[in-house]
Each structure stands twice: as C-alpha cells, then as structure tokens.
C-alpha cells in the first residue's frame, strides 16, 4: 500500500472523510489549544458550576474554571498519549511479531508465550497496578498503555510473517545469500507494514480510551488537564448529581467522537487489507 | 501516633450522634415489623469494633452508643452527667476524685463494678490508640470496694470529671484477652456487650452495622427498635440514597452538595458549630531536633510564612472550596470556644501587595520564571493534601492556595496523597528522631467539645513526636500552656490563651484557613418534631459529644417509604448511553476482527441466552 493508495482509500468513503476531518481538527486543537482558550484553564473564579453562558461557552467547574478552555487544553494530552502509546505499542508488537514469526523455534516459543501472557491478562487492572506503582506523569501513562497493548499487534504480525517466510521470493532471496536482517528489512517489513499501520490506528483509539479511563481513576498526570481528568473532576465534585451536564457531556462527547473517528479509519484500512471484512459487512 | 485522624474523626463521629440527638429522630417503620428502624448512611464505615486499634471517626459513632463513659455529658450544655459513675466528689486540692459507681448491668446481665472502670481506664487509657492522652496526669486509680473508684492526679486536671473520653468496657470479657491480642487483631464477639441503649448485633464490614436495643438498659426506653448504619461506595451515593428515601439520616454531608441537598423536598440540612478547622501547616522542625527532616529550609524563614499568610484569601477558599459552608478562621483557637475566644492581634487579612513587600524586604526577588529566590534558595515548596475522595474541600483548598501564592512569587507543588501516606510523611522517623518529610500540607483538626486544651497542646514542644505536626517549639508558649491548663478561672485562662494565640500568629506554624461546622442532613418525612436539644439557649456547644442521651428522645416519623424523586435520571441515562456507545464500538471492533468463527459464535450465544428459569428467583 503506497502512500498515495493510503490517501485514496481514506477519501474513498464517508467514513474516511469523517475520520480524517475529526482528526485534523483534533490535532489542530491539540497544537494550538492553549492559544485558543479564552481563559486560563486552571484559574479559579467565584462563578462555581455555572451553566453555559456567553462568558463561559461550556459553563464552569466546581472551582469556577472555564470548561471550554479545559476542553481545548485537554485535547493535547489525549492526542499525545493516544499517538505516543500507539507508536510504542506498534514498535513493540511488530518487533516481537517479526522476530517470533521469522525465526521460529525457541525464539518463537518464548516470545509467543510472552505474547499470550499479555493477551490474556486483563489489561485495565494491569494498567491500574502499573500506573499506581509509578509516579503519575505523562511519560508513565504513555509507557503503561503502550506496554500493555502491543500483544494483539504482535499476534497479527507474527501470523503474517510466518506466511511471508515461506513465500517464494523470500526463499529466493535466502538462496541468493541474503542475511536475515536484509530479508526482514527489504521483504518482511514492507509486506507487514500495511497490517501494522491499520492495527496501530485502531490502537490509538484504545490508547485514548485507556488514558481517559486511567485519568478518570485519578491515575493520570495530575499537573495536566485531559478529558479523562475533567471527567474525574466532574464526578469527584458531584457534578452529575448537581445536574451540571456541561461539565460531563463535553469531555465525554470529545472522547467518543475522537475514538469513533480513529476507529472508522482503522476499519477502513483493515477492510482494504482484508476485503473479506467488507463483504461480511455488506452481506 | 496520629490523633489527627482520630480527632477529626471524633468530632465527626460524634456528629452522627448530634444529629440523632438534635432532632427527635424517628425511624422508618418498615421491614422490621413493629420495631421501627433508623437507617443512617455513610461512605466510610468502621474498620473494627475494637477501641484499642480503631482510628476512624466512624468508630466513635458506634462506641458512643454501645458504651458509657465514666462520666457522660449532659446534652443540654455538655456539663458532666452521670454515666457509669452516678456521683463523684472532688477533694479540696482538686487532685483526688472519688467516684460512686451506679447500679447498672452489662447487656449480658453481669453487674458493672469498679473493676471494669479501673481496667478500662488503665488498659484502654494506656494502650488504646486514641485514648492515651487523657490520663497523662493520673498517678493512681484505686478501688476500695466494688462501687467506688478513686483517681489521683499529679496536678489539678479538670478532665477527670467531664473530659475523660475513655469508654468503660466489660472487664469480664475484654480482661480475658491477652494485651498483645487486644492491640493487634482482636475482634470482639457479637452481640457487643455494653451498657448503652443499643448494642451491635451484626457487623458486616463494608456493608452494614445493625444495633439492637440493649435488654438490660435501664434508662429511658428508645422509641425505635434498631439502628442500621449502611455503607455506600462514595459520598455522592450516600446523598442520593437520602434523596431516594433509602436512608433517613446522613451524619456527614459534603460541603459542595450541602446547599443543594437542603433544597430537596423532604430533606432538611443542619449545620452545627464544631471546634474543627482546616489549616495550612508548615514543617518547622528545628535542625537539632530533626537532623534528617526533608524540607526546603526557606519555609522556616518567618517572612516567607508571613508573606504566604498575606497572599491567601481565606474567604475565597471558603467561597469556592467549601461552597460557603465554613467561615474564615483567625488563629488556632476556633471561635467555637466562645468563653475563651478573642480575635488575635494579627489576623493576616488578604493583602498580596504587602506579601510582595515583605518578600522584597527579606531579599527574595523574582527569578526568570516569576518564582522568588534568595542566594539560590527558591521559594518552591511541596504542598501535600488528602485526595479528593478523602476530602474534596482540602484538595481544592490546596489548589487555591497554590494559585494565590503563585501571584506573589511563591510556588506550591500540590500533591494529593492518601491519609495513610500523609500520616507517614508527618510521623516519619530516622534513628528514633522525628524526620518529617514535607514542606507544607493542608489538613484539619477537630477539638474536644468542652475544652480547648487539646488543640492548644498541638503546638507544645512535648507533643513533638506525638500529635505535633508542625514541630513548633517555643519555651514561652510551653510555659503559658501549662499555666492555662491549671487555671480554673475562665477570665484569667482566656487571657493566657489569648497570649498563646498571639504568639502562634506571630510565628505562624499554622495558617488556619477556615472553621468548619458539621454538615448533616435528614429526611423530614421520616424524622418529625425536630428540635435541637444540645444547644438549648445560646447553643454555643454542639451536642455531638453528648453520647447517646439525645438518641433516646427520638421517635419514628410520620411517614415512611415515600420514594423521593431523582432529578438526575436523565443525566445518568445520557452518561450511560455514552459509555454503552463506546463499549459497543469496542465490541463491534472485536467482532470485525474475527473472521469465520463469527456465525458459529453467534449460534452458541443464542443457546446460552436461553432463559434458564433462575432469573425470576428472588434474591
């Protein structure tokens, strides 16, 4: 799948166009959110838990902070964690998958057990334990999510690599004296990249949700605003009981829409790689 | 040992009782047939019924109903009233008190004797986590006969009558348990033998405590048959349960929801004065006492603390963090103690310009990032506070303090930690010496209802290694403290205390932020005829420390079982819908990833979903 092909796939359906539109807006806000925010998102005021008004587009928090500003500034955390954790997960997953699938034997057995282990471990509790053990910070959050979500990628890549290894062109390269590194670099990796890419896009969604979940549980970076920590603050301050919907709905909706967008793009690529999925859907 | 937790707890615990007493409480006459039940909801329940190891305020709620003190409190004015002792005589030199034990029986029929009193005061008074401070002036406890107890003290101590907050336990049960077990793992068997009007008959930790009437109780017969303390997952759930009518009474309401709760139908909120406050404390442990303390030494510099005091708008903290349920405090002594309170000389009104001036004069000048420094000493401090779930008010107050101090060039890095962790940081020791590991923290204290000595003792040198958590030490203050505790003339004592408070306001080991009343709520349809009993007249003393007496007047309310309405239904539905939407996505995605097995699995699923007939069974 070439770059141009990837773009064509993306714009070929409404799902892709919707997804990319949301992504572009989100990334823009993530970069310029602090500058766009009408207020300092952590500045308290005596307008406590006020409903939306012209002064405060999305109302205020329990400390009189501006919800709209928090939403804008919080975007960055969600995006950074989502993408960074997905990259870690992709690198780890594909490395393990490629080594395991390509070399087979004991390498495979050990790596595969590790992978199985991570697959069956309930991810959220593991993340909670890890995040609790380490001091909460953005880096820790990224690492924890990345380290717990690579196994699926690893499994898929491994299967693909195992079939690739037996293909004629790989055999041919080997017969011509190519080393393992060369084969992995020029044949295996390029042929698994689309798969890794599609999978990684989906992991972004998981990572964003995980960040929100961990922050909601109070395990996020306390010095940073994120959508998850906004929800945590809202619930911690009893905003739902107070009927302060403007404090709960916006971050929840943002998470949902971003995850939806990323997931749609992920599906699109998955279907492109494996057309049978599309047929299932249409039938 | 951390009596802070305890103390706060004591105040709050007693709050439950206060509520009970303050309103003639009736109970919901449901479920239990003819015996009306009073349901009380809380978000934290006792870890144990054993007073030797209990630390939480909730523990006191139960203990105070189950057991008597040697001398109880009169709910009218908190003056001494007969408890286990029916009468007492103080000697002329005020150092010997002779108590006459009343003819009463434990709930298992065994008579109460002087041996029970001696054992409880000696053992619980020396080994019980929360009870050790009361008997430190006691030199001997003797029992000339079964009905007489004589307590001698090294100096006159007003607490012996009317301030000995040590529960009298049945020696014939507790005395048989080895001390090593009492102070570690011992869990008393049920029913919990006691002398109070109700005794614990069921203790399901984390869920429910049931207390039934004590058959041997010979005082006024309670008007309801059972108390139920129901534990909920969090404070929000407790308050929702009150709105829904699942419970009748909430002994501790959050500041943020207090006002709103009072606006609901059939719910009345009560805020009663209490000797409790929230403070910003500093680590002042002198180098020679705490060689291994972990602290930014700049906090020991008086101008820095003065500047912090001027930079903080305490009214703003009350408005935002406490939702205007508290009020601004001036100094360590709460205005609750009316007979001793007087505004201190320096109250540090909010004045950021003055704060900056003080720092400029002291040579602390703003650096590149706006944080002031002098000779490389940056005014950057850690500021610990309890987590939001433990105290939303404290966590929010810490945030506000940091925000306001930042404006004058002082940085506070707020860290929310659990109560356990915070305790660890303050009581930390290295080589047997205190080694506190913090610069500043926000926490609270609750004093004794009848006497300010406990709160004043926090700043004495003698409490370093004990209750002191600012590690303040001042010879003049110590001297004045001893003077006031032996002074029986209220006006003279007030004068001494005023000088002590002025000393503290000068040195600022604490910046006391707000005084915090007890916030409670109950259902008016379950509890009618509400009339505060404790503060009759002035009402300058809250009735929580009054023990169970007010409880006996409570009567069941007019209506019961009226389901309250929930205004949150829509919101909850929306949130649930969002959650479901996200879950659905994840699920769908999972399905997509599977290829062939999809249909097969669906078939299996259908089979599994066949009703198996167990759903209809009642739980």
User: In which band, very low, low, confident or very high, does the pLDDT at B319 lie, cut at 50, 70 and 90?
Assistant: very high
For residue A243, the chain B residues in CB contact (below 8 A) are 567-568, 571
Domains annotated for chain B, with CATH where assigned, are 8-67+196-272+519-579 (3.40.190.10), 71-181 (3.90.76.10), 276-515 (3.10.105.10)
* CA separation for the pair A92, B613 (Å, rounded): 48
Contact assignment for B582 to A63 by CB distance below 8 Å: no
Which has the closest alpha carbon to B476: B510, B500, B501?
A: B500
Strands B267-272 and B249-250: unpaired
Kindly state whether A245 is in contact with chain B, defined as any CB-CB distance less than 8 angstroms. Answer: yes
Residue among B19, B4, B5 nearest B534 (CA): B19
Is ipTM > 0.95 here?
no
Tell which residue, B477, B462, B134, has the closest CA to residue B331. Answer: B477
Instruction: Provide the pLDDT for residue B250.
Output: 87
Q: Within an 8 Å CB–CB cutoff, is residue A258 touching chain B? A: no
**Nearest-Cα residue of chain A relative to residue B389:** A236
**A220-271: per-residue pLDDT in tens?**
887 889 999 999 888 888 788 778 899 999 999 999 999 999 999 998 888 8
Res B532: pLDDT: 64
Burial of A25 (0-12, 13-18, 19+ CB in 10 A): middle
- Give the per-residue pLDDT at B7: 44
Q: Which of B568, B586, B595 lies at the smallest CB-CB distance from A240?
A: B568
Q: Tens of pLDDT along B495-546?
A: 999 999 999 999 999 999 999 988 888 888 887 666 665 554 443 333 544 5
With CB atoms and an 8 Å threshold, state whether A263 touches B581.
no
Q: What is the pairing mode between strands B380-386 and B411-417? A: parallel
CB contact under 8 A, B403 and A267: no
B169: left (phi over 0), alpha (psi -120 to 50) or beta: beta
**Is A257's Cβ below 8 Å from some Cβ in B?**
no
Optimal mutation site among A41, A44, A203, A208, interface B, most CBs of chain B within 10 A: A44
Distance CA B346, CA A142 (A): 49
User: Dihedral of CA A45/A46/A51/A55: which sign?
Assistant: negative
The CA distance from B14 to B193, in Å, is: 21
- Give the total residue count for chain A: 283
Would you say B246 and B564 are in contact if contact means Cβ atoms under 8 Å apart? no
Task: Flag if A253 and B578 touch (Cβ within 8 Å).
Answer: yes
Beta strands per DSSP E along B392-439 = 411-417, 429-430, 433-434
Q: Kindly determine whether residue B589 and residue A263, on different chains, have CB atoms separated by under 8 Å.
A: yes
Phi and psi (nearest 5°) for B50?
-85, 110
Q: Is A252 on the interface with B (CB under 8 A)?
A: yes
For B143-152, what is the mean pLDDT?
92
Alpha helices, DSSP H only, in B23-78?
A: 57-66
- Domain extent at residue A186: 3-282
Q: Give, for B202, the enclosing helix (H) or strand (E).
A: strand B198-204
CA distance B453 to A86: 59
Q: How many separate domains does chain A show?
A: 1
- The CATH number of whichever domain residue A133 belongs to comes to 1.10.3720.10
Q: CB of B274 within 8 A of CB of B517?
A: yes
Q: Are B217 and B199 a contacting pair, CB within 8 Å? A: no
Average pLDDT, chain B: 81
Average pLDDT over residues B459-469: 84
Buried b (16+ CB within 10 A) or exposed e, B489-509: eeeebbebbbbbbebbbebbb
């Amino acid at each position: 799948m070439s770059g141009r092909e990837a773009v064509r796939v993306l714009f070929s359906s409404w799902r892709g166009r919707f997804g990319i539109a949301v992504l572009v807006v989100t990334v823009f806000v993530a970069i310029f959110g602090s500058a766009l925010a009408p207020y300092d998102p952590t500045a308290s005021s005596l307008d406590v838990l006020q409903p939306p008004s012209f002064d405060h587009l999305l109302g205020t928090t329990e400390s009189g902070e501006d919800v709209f500003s928090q939403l804008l500034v919080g975007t960055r955390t969600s995006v950074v964690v989502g993408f960074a954790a997905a990259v870690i997960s992709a690198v780890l997953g594909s490395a393990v998958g490629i080594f395991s699938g390509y070399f087979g034997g004991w390498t495979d057995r050990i790596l595969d057990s590790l992978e199985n282990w991570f697959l069956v471990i309930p991810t959220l509790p593991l993340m909670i334990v890890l995040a609790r053990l380490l001091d909460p910070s953005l880096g820790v959050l990224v690492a924890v999510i990345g380290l717990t979500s690579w196994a699926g990628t690893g499994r898929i890549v491994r299967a693909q690599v195992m079939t690739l290894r037996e293909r004629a062109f790989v055999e041919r390269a080997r017969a011509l004296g190519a080393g393992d590194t060369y084969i992995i670099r020029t044949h295996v990796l390029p042929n698994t990249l689309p798969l890794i890419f599609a999978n990684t896009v989906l992991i972004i969604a998981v990572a964003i949700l995980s960040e929100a979940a961990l922050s909601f549980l109070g395990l996020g970076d306390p010095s940073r605003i994120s959508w998850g920590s906004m929800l945590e603050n809202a619930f911690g301050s009893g905003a739902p009981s107070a009927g302060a919907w403007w404090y709960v709905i916006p971050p929840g909706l943002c998470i949902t829409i971003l995850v939806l967008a990323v997931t749609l793009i992920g599906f699109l690529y998955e279907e492109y790689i494996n057309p049978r999925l599309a047929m299932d859907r249409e039938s | 040992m951390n009596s802070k937790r305890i103390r706060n707890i004591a105040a709050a615990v007693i709050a439950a009782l206060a509520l009970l007493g303050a309103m003639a409480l009736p109970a919901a006459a449901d479920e239990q047939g003819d015996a009306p039940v009073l349901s009380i909801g809380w978000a934290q329940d006792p870890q144990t019924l054993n007073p030797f190891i209990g630390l939480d305020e909730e523990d006191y709620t139960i203990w105070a109903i189950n057991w008597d003190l040697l001398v109880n409190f009169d709910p009218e004015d908190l003056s001494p009233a007969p408890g286990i002792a029916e009468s007492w005589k103080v000697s002329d030199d005020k150092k010997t008190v002779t108590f006459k034990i009343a003819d009463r029986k434990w709930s298992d029929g065994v008579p109460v004797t002087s041996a029970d009193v001696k054992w409880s005061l000696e053992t619980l008074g020396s080994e019980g986590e929360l009870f050790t401070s009361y008997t430190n002036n006691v030199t001997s406890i003797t029992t000339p006969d079964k009905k007489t107890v004589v307590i001698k003290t090294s100096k006159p101590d007003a607490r012996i009558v009317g301030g000995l907050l040590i529960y009298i336990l049945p020696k014939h049960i507790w005395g048989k348990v080895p001390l090593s077990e009492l102070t570690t793992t011992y869990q008393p068997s049920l029913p919990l033998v006691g002398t109070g009007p109700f005794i614990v008959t069921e203790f399901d930790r984390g869920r429910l405590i049931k207390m039934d009437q004590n058959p041997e109780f010979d005082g006024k017969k309670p008007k309801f048959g059972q108390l139920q303390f129901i534990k909920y997952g969090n404070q929000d759930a407790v308050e929702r349960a009150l709105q829904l009518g699942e419970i009748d009474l909430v002994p501790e309401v959050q500041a943020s929801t207090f006002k709103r709760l009072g606006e609901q139908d059939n719910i009345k909120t009560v805020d009663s004065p209490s000797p409790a406050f929230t403070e910003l404390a500093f680590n002042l442990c002198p180098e020679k006492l705490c060689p291994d303390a972990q602290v930014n030494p700049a906090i020991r510099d008086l101008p820095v603390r003065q500047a912090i005091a001027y930079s903080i708008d305490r009214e703003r903290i009350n408005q935002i963090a406490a939702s205007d349920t508290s009020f601004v405090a001036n100094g360590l002594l709460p205005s609750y103690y009316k007979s001793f309170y007087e505004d201190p000389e320096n109250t540090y009104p909010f004045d950021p310009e003055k704060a900056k001036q003080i720092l400029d004069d002291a040579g602390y000048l703003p650096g590149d990032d706006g944080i002031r420094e002098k000779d490389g000493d940056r005014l950057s401090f850690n500021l610990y506070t309890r987590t939001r779930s433990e105290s939303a008010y404290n966590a929010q107050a810490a945030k506000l303090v940091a925000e306001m101090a930042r404006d004058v060039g002082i940085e506070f890095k707020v860290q929310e930690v659990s109560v356990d962790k915070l305790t660890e940081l303050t009581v930390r020791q290295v080589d047997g010496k205190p080694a506190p590991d913090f610069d500043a923290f926000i926490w609270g204290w609750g004093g004794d209802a009848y006497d300010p000595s406990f709160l004043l003792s926090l700043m004495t040198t003698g409490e370093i290694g004990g209750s002191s958590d600012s590690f303040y030490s001042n010879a003049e203050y110590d001297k004045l403290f001893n003077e006031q505790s032996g002074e029986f003339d209220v006006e003279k004592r007030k004068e001494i205390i005023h000088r002590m408070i002025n000393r503290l306001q000068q040195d600022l080991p604490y910046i006391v932020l707000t005084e915090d009343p007890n916030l409670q709520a109950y259902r008016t349809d379950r509890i009618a005829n509400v009339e505060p009993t404790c503060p009759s007249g002035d009402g300058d003393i809250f009735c929580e420390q009054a023990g169970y007496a007010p409880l006996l007047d409570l009567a069941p309310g007019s209506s019961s079982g009226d389901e309250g309405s929930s205004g949150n239904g829509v919101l909850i539905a929306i949130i649930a819908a969002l959650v479901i939407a996200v879950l659905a996505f994840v699920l769908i995605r999972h399905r997509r990833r599977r290829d062939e097995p999809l249909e097969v699995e669906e078939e299996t699923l259908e089979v599994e979903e066949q009703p198996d007939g167990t759903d209809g069974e009642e739980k």
